Amino acid sequence: MKLRFQADADLNQIIVKATLRLEPSIDFQTAHAAGLANLDEAAVLKRAAEQGRILVSHDRKTMPGHFGRFIMSEKSQGLLIVSQKLPVYRVAEDLFLIWSASESEEWVNRIRSLPI
């Protein structure tokens, strides 16, 4: 099954737009569209998991710990931590590469950082 991405509220939303410009058929939901603005990390992870989406976040301080606790009891489609120092075009290209070269089953309960 093709990957589906979920941006959290911390992610620069321009990354979503840039990724969709590269490939409009990528299913990449914004935090606003998913109603994530006022949810804590555990609820964000749960919502992404329920929808079968890989969570994409800039939050490298707290999200990995929350993710580790989450996958001890639940299944996640994965977590991608994006460096804020990367140019938007580079993040979009990396996300496109991940989307085009892998299947969602390969990302279950995995965490990775960008750049790849």
Structure tokens at 34: 């998913």
Number of separate domains in the chain: 1
How does the average pLDDT of the chain come out, rounded?
96
Mean pLDDT of 49-70: 97
Asked whether residue 4 carries a pLDDT value surpassing 90, the answer given is: yes
Which domain covers residue 58, as residue numbers? 4-114
- What is residue 37's predicted lDDT score, i.e. its pLDDT? 85
Instruction: Kindly report the backbone phi and psi dihedral angles of residue 73, in degrees, each rounded to the nearest multiple of 5, phi listed first.
Output: -125, -15
- Give the model's pLDDT for residue 97: 97
pLDDT of residue 17: 97
Q: What mean pLDDT is predicted for residues 1-20?
A: 95
